[in-house]
Chains A and B, each alone.
Chain A
Amino acid sequence: MGQASFTSCPGATGSADMMRIMDPTPQYPQGYVRHYNNRGQPLDPSGKPGDRASTHIPLDYEGPISGWPQYISKISL
């Protein structure tokens, strides 16, 4: 059983408005993040719904938004 964590907005159901930080796996040695819009769709680093390749975001990913998602792993959810 994993030790991952997640947080969601009060009143949200299912995966809507949720962020989930997952433990390292062989494919994601630093762990990965999945975050969802209010319809429960996983989002890519730019905040758009995307396919599974673009919405499994490695925690060491460096994208257009400074600090995202690297610093999110330092926040206790």
Chain B
Amino acid sequence: MMKRVLIFLLALSLAALWGGVAAAVTPEAQQKVVTAASKNLIEIGLSYSGDQVHFFGVNPVPGTDLIIKLTAEKDEEIQFSVKGRVGPFWMTVKQYDVTGAPFMYKIHASKPIKEIVSPAVAQELELGYQAIRHKMKMHLSRGDATPDDADKVFQGMLKIKERANLYNIVEDPARLQVTEGKLFKHYFRFPPAASEGRYQVESFCFQKGELVGYGKDVIEIKKVGLENWLTQTSQNQPVFFGILAVFIAVGAGLLVGVIFGKGGHH
């Protein structure tokens, strides 16, 4: 009898543990949000100046709140310089290595994120700038740290990223149109600064703060034609590329010289 009770208790605690894990939100386990993108491949050609991709989706639980997140699959390793005053001059006084921040990060939400989910869930699913701040790691590589550095560097990074249109958060129903609580559409702008690689667009449906639906699209950005050839050659055959660059330059210089030289004798 005692043994059975023990086993029952063990099972119960395991279930509680399992439940706890489940409560830690597993997006893939939710109902599928069926989505479609106007294109899944963006090609960078000579006249590329960024692109716009339209997304359409069906909300599996009508009337729920929607948050859509665009991130680059790669995280960035970047270094930030912090300037400070030394005598009359401004110079770099410290440097931070930052890891774990996504290269690109955009969010469209049908209303403010904090009204849709709790801070804990937002952090879990990496929704909102605060979640990024928790995730990224800063390491002082030069200079002396001060307590406000973390905030300063984080705000500085947001400013740089937002200026390049690589980060933004729009919490506005006008930006994420939902028809009859079910059909939604919106678009993401990929700025020219968005480099080659894979990007994922995740759609989350929340009902009273709980995740009830999830969908994912993958968008790939690739260089094509001359752009691709120049990039590949410069990175993989640097000796050939360097010599080519010099020859083309000398050739072009002399050619123009000859053309103008002839013109000058008239």
A binds B: no
Q: What residues of chain B have their CB less than 8 Å away from a CB belonging to chain A?
A: none
